[in-house]
Amino acid sequence: MSNGADDARAKIKTVTLNGERMPLADARVSVMAPGLTYAAAVFEGIRAYRNAAADQLWLFRLDDHIRRFVNSMRLLRFDDPPSFDTVRRQVIDDVAANGYREDVYVRLQAYIDDWGDMTATGPVGMAIVSRPRPRVPAFETGRDFGISAWRRLADNASPPRVKATANYLNGRLAGLDAKAAGYGGAILLTERGTVSEGPGGCIFIVRDGVLITPSVTSGILESVTRDTLIRLAGADGQACVEREIDRTELYIADEAFYCGTGQEVVPMLSVDRLPVGDGRPGPITRRLQALYDDTVRGHTDDHADWRTAVHETN
């Protein structure tokens, strides 16, 4: 394991499997489960942020993540999937039961359990694992990105709108190539050659003071972070458009960044070794990072409905 995963694992008191609490080591799935044999699985990643002054942990846009999770199960035609309310209650309870006093990441997974063929639609299993997860250092420092030779999945092949485990083969291939080439991150293009997204996050560029991001029909996951940033930018008087982005626009952008729940907002320092702007995080990126941080951590009263308080239960 890497990225401090061992450290995080040691702090997990309990996980939730099919509604029952247990130690992580006891949460097991059959090797014949279609969730494993055919990647018949969907997931979500949700962050909870600690506000030390308020002594409070807030799950960020919990309901939006759960709505997407429920839609993903629906698109994969899962039988009798857990309801929105059940998932919501179990996520809050799981985080609360762990009693964390730091930033947390919740991995929520639903899969076809037991044994079955490629089109099995049940029984549905669900696992919730919450763990400490600090901010990535690249939030401050930025990263170098490379455009992948792999193309982004298409909606008529393996729809990226569904947060399906199977879709992450595409991101993995791009990520492995980027790593081998010495980049910190990958950018995938659509079949048409326009910018789509990265393996685990969406992309924004800035040109002539305008924030631009690919539309939701560009082979992207309908990202909660992307939506958050579009709305925060709009309220801040920042012009923002959703449209196709050509590859060459990445090379002449004044600023660019990568965003998602896990990565939050990571400045792009270069693309294919061409510096973005002057090769340092730009002012619009820094402004959006600050607005994002204030919002997720509850340093502002705005968007209180995006923050769900976790009250300890143990």
Ligand X SMILES: Cc1ncc(COP(=O)(O)O)c(C=O)c1O
Residue 285 dihedral angles phi and psi, to the nearest 5°: -60, -45
Q: Is 146 exposed, middle or buried (0-12, 13-18, 19+ CB in 10 A)?
A: buried
Nearest in space to 65 (alpha carbons), one of 205, 216, 222: 222
d(CA 177, CA 124): 34
Query: Of 29 and 216, which CB lies nearer to ligand X in the complex structure?
Result: 216
Please tell me whether residue 221 binds ligand X under the rule CB under 6 A. yes
Report the nearest approach of ligand X to the CB of residue 170 (Å): 9
Residue among 90, 130, 223, 308 that touches ligand X (CB under 6 A): 223
Q: Which amino acid is at 189?
A: L
Report the nearest approach of ligand X to the CB of residue 137 (Å): 18
Catalytic residue among 11, 13, 163, 179: 163
Report the nearest approach of ligand X to the CB of residue 237 (Å): 23
- Listing DSSP states for 251-286 in one string gives HH-SEEEEEETTTEEEEEEEETTEESTTSS--HHHH
Per CB under 6 A, the segment of 11-19, 20-28, 218-226, 248-256 that binds ligand X is 218-226
d(CA 296, CA 89): 20
Binders of ligand X among residues 171 to 200 (CB under 6 A) are: 171, 197, 200
Please tell me whether residue 45 binds ligand X under the rule CB under 6 A. yes
For tokens 């990105």, name the residue.
145
Residue among 148, 213, 261, 270 that touches ligand X (CB under 6 A): 261
Per CB under 6 A, the segment of 30-38, 87-95, 220-228, 241-249 that binds ligand X is 220-228
Please tell me whether residue 260 binds ligand X under the rule CB under 6 A. yes
Please tell me whether residue 147 binds ligand X under the rule CB under 6 A. no
Q: Is 137 exposed, middle or buried (0-12, 13-18, 19+ CB in 10 A)?
A: exposed
Query: Of 202 and 266, which CB lies nearer to ligand X in the complex structure?
Result: 202
Query: Of 97 and 110, which CB lies nearer to ligand X in the complex structure?
Result: 110
Whether 179 sits among the annotated catalytic residues: the reply is no
Site for ligand X (CB under 6 A): how many residues? Answer: 14
What does the buried/exposed string (b/e) look like for 70-83 if buried means 16 or more CB atoms within 10 Å of the residue's CB? bebbeebebeebbe
d(CA 223, CA 160): 11
Query: Of 201 and 298, which CB lies nearer to ligand X in the complex structure?
Result: 201
Query: Of 57 and 296, which CB lies nearer to ligand X in the complex structure?
Result: 296
Please tell me whether residue 201 binds ligand X under the rule CB under 6 A. yes
Per CB under 6 A, the segment of 96-104, 132-140, 206-214, 222-230 that binds ligand X is 222-230
Report the nearest approach of ligand X to the CB of residue 261 (Å): 3
Can you list the pairs that 13-18 forms with residues at least 24 positions away whose Cβ atoms lie under 8 Å?
A: 13/97, 13/98, 13/99, 14/94, 14/97, 14/98, 15/94, 15/127, 15/128, 15/129, 15/130, 16/90, 16/93, 16/94, 16/126, 16/127, 16/128, 17/125, 17/126, 17/127, 17/128, 18/125, 18/126, 18/127
Query: Of 97 and 265, which CB lies nearer to ligand X in the complex structure?
Result: 265
Q: Which amino acid is at 179?
A: K
Per CB under 6 A, the segment of 103-111, 117-125, 207-215, 219-227 that binds ligand X is 219-227
Residue among 92, 147, 224, 265 that touches ligand X (CB under 6 A): 224
Q: Interface residues with ligand X (CB under 6 A)?
A: 45, 171, 197, 200-202, 220-221, 223-226, 260-261
Catalytic residues, by residue number, are: 163
